Structure 1
């Protein structure tokens, strides 16, 4: 019977909880899809001032960064690359003129990244001109083609986004009929749930979005989104930042009800604001075709060999020396404390919330107006009153069914906007996970000497000199970055991975310039004059004679020419170590020499007989081991096929007992082969490069 534990293993490990909440179930939520619709007109290939990259080159670099980020963060999402305003046409049945589908809506991969790299730089512009060219523009047909890309996907899509990259504010040159068709098709796309964004690039004379694109772009999805940006992007960094903010879809970990009292429920969403990035788990591949291997577990009856269903198994817990047997349904009932949701317990002043109460990364609570109408109004009123009274709400949090409850401290956060009335901090509650009484320990702190006032003042000066403004997004994990660079180089067949800069390493030169003599002054105040900060060096090891050990045996010095001459004369015998000169010993092959110079005290064999015996014994050991492996299969599979066709189950029970006997025989043969190897390698002076473990194991 399977042993049963009180809770999930993740509940005992904070990292396990965070890893469980960060997972995305694509079978229930669907996949995100992103289509890049890029203008391929001649204006896109004009370089900027001071040899700045062209708008087309900036777009390709941005597309490449999104491809690589999708591969790392969300490889199940779908991406596509479509060009409009081209001379050549490439789409299903070429029904849309001047539209070139470079990548269909599919999973990102290394091949696609290489294709985008081929369109970067001056050579990429030449390739784009030769492949697609620049022609007339019909944005309406391009939007229609993108609509067909979404409709051809059979998978469930949770979020559909379309990004338009262009540097022309009037794509049709004032053609009113084409403008009307494009606006109509954009409206149809927005009705089907496609979000259209404009990534307009800098051009001479400026970019006026009010001429055409203000009627095409979708309105902001929520209050936190800025919507259409009036200023065009003039730099690659600005474009990448804007695209990254748009293409990342906010996913809620859970959508729950916040119970404020009997009959008063508010719908809220739970979001993770910060989560530790980890290396992806390794995937096992089948060695013949490199396809992923899926692990399946099957339970069989030990006596009858029949397949057991989940309902046939029970759970057992050892308590007071007895096995308490329970059904799976009974275990689920015991684990269940309450239904998923947030239940308000009361309010506490902010002074009662201490720093040591922090257990793990907090979650963010935001209202879900779509689930329950009026949730935003009640949530805003609760947030405002908690902020005014400087209190936090204490709640019981149950994320999923059969998970243990946790206590959350809902800390209010007000909305903050910048000078342009754009939201930079969203209003909501931060959910701080509170510890239980069992989680808090009392530590016996060691007694340390107390620093004097002069030492404290000097350290304050040092801290003031080394202070800087910290930003979490300014430091990347060097281990993860190097890992992904290595994967990128392996996938793209690069000669060497891209060099990364470890920003976590301190700038020692800058620190020395800022401190000046403060470091030496602090050292003089704290440490004695003869203090060595590097520590004591380890004493050198004494010679063997002084320590009472035996003298190490010197190696036999022999030049290459002398060694070649002895080999030609056949004067070498092989032992466990180096070749030995037979001229230095008077023993013969049939003598009983016990000298340590002759193969560790064993009888020497001549080279020709030794080689023949080595090959024969190796082949015998190989065949013996192969026979031990094939013996159970030679008997098991024919009988198993016979039992399956005839339905004779009693014979299969007898075969099961026979398999145990054959397994014991197999282990016996395996140990006989190992004993054979020991005899070959130790008693007979066979060359070690012919009978060592690596060669023998590779044969087996």
Structure 2
């Protein structure tokens, strides 16, 4: 019987997010880069500059960067690359001048290397292999992308096509082809496929969306809005972000009970969570294929294989092993159905900072479980903000999870100057400690700083203040890990250098607060003080060695060597004392080990 640890029961709450994410990963996002391959896409503003990129190379670099990001952030997503306006054709429907360069698949090192070769090859390499032709149909290109999503062996939850072009009026001489493209765009919208235009501007020309793409992207019922600046959108695609992407989904959907017969549905969200390195995968030494682990439990006495129903949990109590059935364990763990139960309200000022014993969560109304939840939730939030109170609730997060007391801290909706939401309305779920969680810490009495020292400290802190935002700092350990993995996968000579933003900017700090820091040091620390230097003990190393040597000599004088040797107690003396005795008695010895010294002393006294 396995030992059933009651001390750990309920700790599954710590792993609930990981379990949820594992299920959520089954839903994949699909993205297809649809790239215009007209000759104008290969033109450069300055022909003499070889390092300057054409629009086509920029598009491929966006695709390459997206693939690199997807491998780390969400490797289950599917990405594809399709060219239109090529002389060569390759697609399942045999459309002319449409070339599926990379099918819809999970991002891999081979795809990234292919794009890198094509970027470096330039226009000459592309013309030789694929060519250019303006007799394409944008309808056929969109149809090809739609078929790629439809024929995918993987289920795709969110489908998106990113169209890259610098031609604001394709098929200008063919109203029929324009009409077909607009009809196909409408079909994509009805089937849940988003079409996004990445418009690129030709040198000294503007991109007029109203000529053609206005009707392609917006239906008659939509309000036409200005497209985002292409430079900003491209910067987003070209930004290398080596971080895991967590889907913005509710962790769970449970009821919030305000009293008997009065409930509303809420979704629980995790706003911040730690990002760890992925777990290692065991591979076969011969085939390099992933290994699957199968475990079996054997009875120690007979070697018989035990089935799950043969196992029981047990707890040792009073020297006896008490066994439990599965139903009994579930009953012990069960404290009631999942949900929030309102206990009352407290002034927000009573919530102390040290009450935060674990990461907080966030709740938002959920109409899918209980109709009318938004109205009741809004009223509760509004009154909590008006009266500056915090709701105290009993919270059971899931089946067989222990109850916790939580404080629901209200948060008002906030907007920036562009009327974009920066803080959503809702309640932060703050986990409160139990009485058992509080500790009594003993503080040693320390000398208090004087008024002048406090003022100097205030001046130094004031000059070293800066606006802190966690999103500006990447985890250097994770960044180094991903860069090394990437270098191995892409066969690079060396990984990209990691910039550690957690290191202090000594030069800037010295420039802003150098005088204040020196003034603080002069008034607080003694003359010649060096921060971080090891404190030397009185007398120094030489004094310690001399004192130790004097103590050893004193011990050797006080010992009656013959008496100790006759009693067989020489082994209790230290090597240093034995050496001092040998030196004092002028005894010859063949070695310096303890046994050699004892033998020499015994021989000297004829023992």
State whether residues 65 and 238 of structure 2, in contact with CA within 8 Å, keep that contact through their aligned partners in structure 1: no
Give the structure 1 partner of residue 82 of structure 2. Answer: 82
Q: Does 1:423 align with 2:421?
A: yes
Contact kept? 1:233, 1:239, Cα under 8 Å = no
Q: Report the equivalent of 1:571.
A: none
Q: Name 2:353's counterpart in structure 1.
A: 355
Contact 2:281–2:290 at 8 Å: present in 1 too? yes
Aligned 8 A contact 2:62 2:238 in 1: no
User: What is the SS of the residue equivalent to 1:118?
Assistant: helix
Using the alignment, how far apart are the partners of 1:435 and 1:201 within structure 2? 56
- Give the superposition deviation at 1:458: 0.9
Measured after TM superposition, the shift of residue 511 of structure 1 is: 1.7
User: What are the superposed Cα offsets for residues 499-526 of structure 1, whole Å, 9 maximum, x if unpaired?
Assistant: 1211211121222222233222211111
Structure 1 residue aligned with 2:484: 486
Normalised by the length of structure 2, the TM-score is 0.79
State the distance in 1 between where 2:371 and 2:129 align: 53
Distance in 2, matches of 1:7 and 1:99, equals 64
1:454 Cα deviation after fit: 0.9
Q: CA deviation at 1:302?
A: 4.6
Counterpart of 1:151 in structure 2 is 150
Judging changes above 3 Å, is the alpha-carbon distance between structure 1 residues 200 and 116 closer, same or farther for their aligned structure 2 residues?
Answer: same
Distance (Å, rounded) in 2 between the aligned partners of 1:210 and 1:425: 35
Instruction: Answer yes or no: is the 8 Å Cα contact 1:21–1:253 preserved in 2.
Output: no
Measured in 2, the distance between the counterparts of 1:458 and 1:243 equals 43
Counterpart secondary structure, 2:418:
coil
1:338 to 331, 336, 340: 336
- Equivalence for 2:570: none
Deviation at 1:218, TM superposition (A): 7.8
Instruction: Give the aligned partner of residue 41 of structure 2.
Output: 44
Indicate if the aligned counterparts of 2:65 and 2:240 stay in contact, CA closer than 8 A.
no
Q: Deviations over 1:26-53 (max 9, x none)?
A: 57x5222222222323333334589864
1:60 corresponds to: 60
Instruction: Using the TM superposition, name which of 487-496 and 184-193 deviates more.
Output: 184-193
Query: Aligned equivalents of 1:248 and 1:75: distance in 2?
Result: 12
1:30 has 2:27 as partner: yes
Aligned-partner Cα distance in 1 for 2:36–2:287 = 40
Which of 376, 379, 387 is the equivalent residue of 2:377?
379
Per-residue CA distance 1:187-221 (angstroms, 9 max, x = gap) = 333333323333333444433444443444489xx
Contact 2:24 2:247 in 1 (8 A): no
Tell me by how many angstroms 1:257 deviates: 2.7
**Equivalent of residue 262 in structure 1, options 260, 280, 290:** 260
Gaps of 5+ in 2: 553-589, 592-607
| Residues 10 and 333 in structure 2, CA contact (< 8 A), matched pair in contact too | no
- Give the equivalent residue in structure 1 for 2:194: 195
Asked whether the equivalents of residues 65 and 239 of structure 2 are also in contact (C-alpha less than 8 Å), the reply is no
Count matched residues: 538
Distance of 2:21 and 2:229 partners within structure 1:
36
- Check 1:475–1:52 CA distance in 2 against 1; reply closer, same or farther (3 A cut): farther
Residue deviations 1:508-560 (CA, integer Å, cap 9, x gap)? 122222223322221111112243432346848979xx8999xxxxxxxxxxx
Aligned CA distance change for structure 1 residues 143 and 290 (closer, same or farther; 3 Å): same
Cα shift readout 1:294-328 (whole Å, capped 9, x = no counterpart): 22222234566554332222111112222221112
Q: Deviations over 1:53-76 (max 9, x none)?
A: 433333323222221222112222
Tell me if structure 1 keeps the 8 A contact 2:314–2:321: yes
**Distance between the aligned counterparts of 1:157 and 1:325, measured in 2?**
47
Which position in structure 1 is the counterpart of 2:297? 299
Please list, as runs of the form range in 1=range in 2, the aligned pairs for 1:210-221 lying within 5 A after superposition.
210-217=210-217
1:238 partnered with 2:235? yes
- Deviation of 1:350 (Å): 1.2
Greater Cα shift, 210-219 or 62-71: 210-219
Q: Aligned Cα RMSD in Å?
A: 3.5
SS state of the match for residue 104, structure 2? strand
Partner Cα separation in structure 1 for residue 140 and residue 246 of structure 2 = 27
- Counterpart CA distance in 1 for 2:346 and 2:173 is 63
Q: Which residue of the partner structure matches residue 160 of structure 1?
A: 159
Secondary structure (helix, strand or coil) at the match of 1:35 reads strand
Deviation at 1:483, TM superposition (A): 0.9
* Structure 1 stretch displaced more, 439-448 or 43-52: 43-52
Structure 2 Cα separation of the partners of residues 407 and 285 of structure 1: 45
Alignment match, 1:2: 2
What's 1:186 paired with? 185
Mapping 1:215-614, distance limit 5 Å: 215-217=215-217, 230-234=227-231, 238-240=235-237, 249-302=247-300, 305-533=303-531, 534-536=533-535, 539=541
| Alpha-carbon shift at residue 157 of structure 1 (Å) | 2.9
Q: Secondary structure at the match of 1:161?
A: strand
Q: Distance in 2 between matches of 1:324 and 1:392?
A: 44
> CA 1:175–1:434 in structure 2 vs 1: closer, same or farther (change >3 Å)?
farther
1:434 to 1:417, Cα distance in 2 relative to 1, 3 A? same
Partners of 2:385 and 2:239 lie apart in 1 by 32
Kept in 2, the 8 Å contact 1:10–1:17? The answer is no
Deviation of 1:7 after TM superposition, in Å, equals 7.0
Distance change in 2, residues 1:401/1:18 (3 Å)? closer
Go from structure 1 to structure 2 and tell me whether the alpha carbon gap of 1:357 and 1:419 turns closer, same or farther (over 3 Å shift): same
Deviations 1:344-399 (A, max 9, x none): 33332211221111223322222333444433333333222222222223333333
Structure-2 change in CA distance of 1:375 and 1:81 (3 Å):
farther
Please say if residues 142 and 184 of structure 2, whose CA atoms lie closer than 8 Å, have aligned partners that are also in contact. yes
- The 3-state SS of whatever aligns with 1:120 is helix
Note closer, same or farther for the CA distance 1:17–1:349 as it changes in structure 2 (3 Å cut): farther
Alignment match, 2:584: none
* Contact 1:201/1:232, CA 8 A, preserved across alignment: no
User: Larger relative contact order (C-alpha < 8 A, sep ≥ 6)?
Assistant: 2
Q: Which of 196-205 and 281-290 deviates more? A: 196-205
Q: Structure 1's 266 and 54: CA in aligned 2 closer, same or farther, altered over 3 A?
A: farther
Distance 1:370 1:449, change over 3 A: same
SS at match of 1:24: helix
**1:566-610 residue CA offsets vs partner (Å, 9 max, x unmatched):** xxxxxxxxxxxxxxxxxxxxxxxxxxxxx99xxxxxxxxxxxxxx
Q: 1:270 to 1:102 in 2, by over 3 A?
A: farther
Aligned to 2:599: none
Whole-Å Cα distance in 2 between the matches of residues 341 and 502 of structure 1?
A: 42
The 8 Å contact of residues 10 and 401 in structure 2, kept in 1 or not, is answered as no
